[in-house]
Amino acid sequence: CTNIEFGRGVCGTAASEKRTLLVKDVHEFPGHIACDAASNSEIVVPLVLDGRVIGVLDLDCEVTEGFDEIDQAGLEVVAKYLVQACDWRGVV
């Protein structure tokens, strides 16, 4: 786990834009931050509480085009459940 500035890499961009980023080929994403050399695709879903990004759900895949819109829809639901189900006191 590392701190990434808003607007940097896939995670920082998803956080700053408050929207899910589905990156079919990370090598084509400008400014991609390679945390795992085996990663070829990535999906990042911002965790938003009361309009504020408190984190991201970040998944990498070794396969190019490893995620699709169906994955995105499901992970966005998971992210909403995480935000609702967790006690974020002390974090926000």
Contact in structure between 40 and 64 (CB atoms under 8 Å): yes
Quote the radius of gyration of the chain (alpha carbons, Å): 13
Contact in structure between 41 and 58 (CB atoms under 8 Å): no
d(CA 28, CA 18): 21
d(CA 79, CA 85): 10
What's the pLDDT tens digit per position in 13-64? 999 999 999 999 988 887 766 777 778 899 999 999 999 999 999 999 999 9
Q: What is the pTM of this model?
A: 0.89
